[in-house]
Amino acid sequence: MKQILNFEFMIGAFGKILEALPTTILLTVVSMFFAVIIAFLVAIIRIYKVSVLKNITAIYVSFTRGTPLLVQIYLAYYGIPKFLDYINKSHGLSMDISNIPPIIFAFVSFSLNVGAYLSETFRASIEAVDKGQMEAALSVGMTRIQAFKRIIMAQALEMALPNIGNTLISLVKDTSLAFSISIVDLMSQAKLVGAEGLNFFEVYIVVAIIYWIICIFIEKAFVLLEIRFKRYKGGVVV
């Protein structure tokens, strides 16, 4: 009787698909790093209503949240070379556009996408901190920057951790769209392995399990981080 699943193929495919794991991790880590920077800057601009910039950041957040990530990836992939070509022609430069690695476009699109969502998390968390905290810090001689770093951000980060963890998990899964611009990540590798014996169902099960394991690991790591933050709350370290 013929089996529904080719388990022997799945076991072999597991190792082959994992060969692309470093690319997925690289996409996730680099994109999240820049996304956090973007999110923090956007959140501060919108909280303190910085002239002109507040409108630009509001449009950026609205556009990013209102359009599919796949469209944003294609906009970066086809738009950045066009923009650089325009710069070349306008200023008589000779930047080599044709050899830009596709992963750069993925970094840009993922960072901007996650940065928009994360900026709302940061903004909500910072605004949720009691304004009296800043006044109390200033009354004991802290500068506004010191108070913001040591008091406001510490409390805001604790509140934001669950959403940051969820955003990171979403980013890991979203990196599967990188195959659309010829990046060999886990998803792309799965398609290549599945094409070898036309066992696509099996490889998609395998890659789903791999993504699942990664997301469970991130979820557990953020639970531990939340526990750690709560141990510091009130000045008590366990």
- Domains parsed from the chain with CATH numbers: 7-235 (1.10.3720.10)
Q: Which residue has the higher pLDDT, 237 or 88?
A: 88
What are the tens digits of pLDDT across the range 36-77? 999 999 999 999 899 889 999 999 999 999 999 999 999 999
What are the tens digits of pLDDT across the range 177-227? 999 998 999 999 999 998 887 888 999 999 999 999 999 999 999 999 888
Give backbone dihedrals phi and psi of 218, rounded to 5 degrees, phi first.
-65, -45
Over range 129-137, report the average pLDDT.
81
Residue 5 has pLDDT above 90, yes or no: no
d(CA 179, CA 106): 10
- Are 27 and 175 a contacting pair, CB within 8 Å? yes
Percent of the chain with pLDDT over 70: 96
